[in-house]
Amino acid sequence: MSRSHPSILFVCLGNICRSPLAEGVCLYELERLGLSGRVRVDSCGTGGWHAGEAPDPRSVAIAREHGVDISGQLARQLRSHDYRDFQFLVGMDSDNYRTLVARKPAGSSAQLVRFMSLLGDDPTPDVPDPYYGPGDGFMTVWGLLRSGMGPLIERVMTADP
């Protein structure tokens, strides 16, 4: 599949916490902005140990609290053709970003983005992984994703294909 529309792939470690939430927030914001169907959105993990699994129940719950349903998503692992199929690959943290850079095939025109760089002078470089943290970590992730999604969508909509 080649890129015919703007496209975003959100990438975290296992594709059960942060990147599924990012996918849900992005689709929610695109709908809110009247851009539904104009941007292809997906998520994946750099690791494949959760492939085929639904998002973490805590991610599903925090999304549901905000009117977003991510329960139908299934985790998958990053594939080499994702660099061809997606215009933007967005790493949720510095480690995921470094993995994206290291795995990028020669000649790929995909743009690699560290999500928190969209927030400008935010002091933290990473969307924190809430998997092992306290219960409010999922709310923190939700808030960061909401804050950075507008700048990402603007960047995607104004980028050259």
| Residues identified as active-site | 12, 18, 129
The answer to whether residues 67 and 22 touch, using CB atoms and an 8 Å cutoff, is: no
Q: Which pair of tokens denotes residue 21?
A: 């939430």
Query: Which candidate, 20, 8, 9, 10, places its Cα nearest to that of 131?
Result: 20
- In the block, which residue shows the tokens 């306290």? 134
For 120: left if phi > 0, alpha if psi spans -120 to 50, otherwise beta; the answer is left
